[in-house]
A and B are shown apart, each in its own frame.
Chain A
Amino acid sequence: MFSYCTDPETLATLQWLTCYLTTGVHFSFYYSFLKVLGILAVTAPVALAFGFGGAMAARSSIAPLSWFGKGYIAIVRGVPDIAFFLFFVIALDQGFEWMRHQVLCPDWTDPIRQGNDFLVCPQAKLPLGSAPQVVHQTYAFGLAVITFALVFGAFAANVIFGAMRAVPRAQLETAEAYGMSPRQTFWRVLVPQMWVYALPGLSNLWQVLIKATPLLFLLGIEDVVYWARELGGTKTPQFTDYPHGDWRMWYFLALLIFYLFMTWGSEKILGRIMARLTRGQATSGGEAQRKAAA
Chain B
Amino acid sequence: MKSILLSTVAIAMTATFAMADGHSVVRMGTEGAYPPYNFINDAGEVDGFERELGDELCARAELTCEWVKNDWDSIIPNLVSSNYDTIMAGMSITDERDEVIDFTQDYFPPTASAYVAAAEGVDLEGGVVAAQTATIQAGYIAESGATLVEFATPEETVAAVRNGEADAVFADRDYLAPLVEAAGGELMFVGPDVPLGGGVGMGLRESDTELKEKFDAIITEMKADGSLNELLVKWFGEETAQY
Contacts and interface: CB of A to CB of B under 8 A. Distances in A.
Contacts of B224: none
A90 B77 CA distance: 10
- Chain A's interface size range is 35 or more
B50 to A, nearest CB: 13
B83 A119 contact: no
B72 to A, nearest CB: 12
Contact of A24 (B43, B81, B205): B43
B215 interface: no
Among B32, B44, B68, B77, the one with the most A-chain Cβ atoms within 10 Å of its Cβ is B44
Nearest to A93: B81
B17 A103 contact: no
Contacts of A25: 40-44
Contacts of A236: 35, 178-179, 181-182
Given A234-B179, A237-B182, A122 B42 contact: no
Given A129-B23, A243-B182, A24 B207 contact: no
Contacts of B205: 117, 119
A24 B42 contact: yes
Contacts of A136: 68
A162 B2 CA distance: 23
B66 interface: yes
A118 B42 contact: no
B39 interface: yes
B162 A246 contact: yes
B206 A117 contact: yes
Interface string A37-51: 000000000100110
Nearest to B35: A239
A27 to B, nearest CB: 7
Q: Is the interface on chain B under 10, 10 to 19, 20 to 34, or 35 or more residues?
A: 35 or more
A117 B208 CA distance: 10
Contacts of B48: 239
Q: Point out which of B5, B14, B17, B47 has the most chain A C-beta atoms below 10 A from its C-beta.
A: B17
A99 B182 contact: no
B192 interface: no
B22 interface: yes
A174 interface: no
A236 B21 CA distance: 42
A226 to B, nearest CB: 9
B42 A230 contact: no
Nearest to A103: B13
A246 B78 CA distance: 30
Interface of B: 1-2, 5, 9, 12-14, 17, 19-25, 27, 32-33, 35-36, 39-45, 47-48, 66, 68-71, 74, 77-78, 80-83, 85, 100-101, 153, 155, 158-159, 162, 178-179, 181-182, 205-207
4 tightest A-B CB contacts, nearest first: A24-B43, A25-B44, A233-B155, A24-B44
24 contacts: A24-B42, A25-B41, A90-B81, A116-B80, A117-B81, A117-B205, A118-B82, A119-B82, A122-B22, A123-B17, A128-B17, A129-B85, A146-B5, A217-B71, A218-B74, A229-B153, A230-B32, A233-B159, A236-B178, A236-B181, A237-B182, A238-B178, A243-B182, A246-B159
Given A24-B42, A96-B12, 17 more contacts: A90-B77, A99-B13, A100-B12, A115-B207, A116-B206, A118-B80, A119-B82, A123-B20, A128-B20, A130-B24, A130-B25, A220-B71, A230-B33, A230-B40, A234-B182, A236-B182, A238-B36
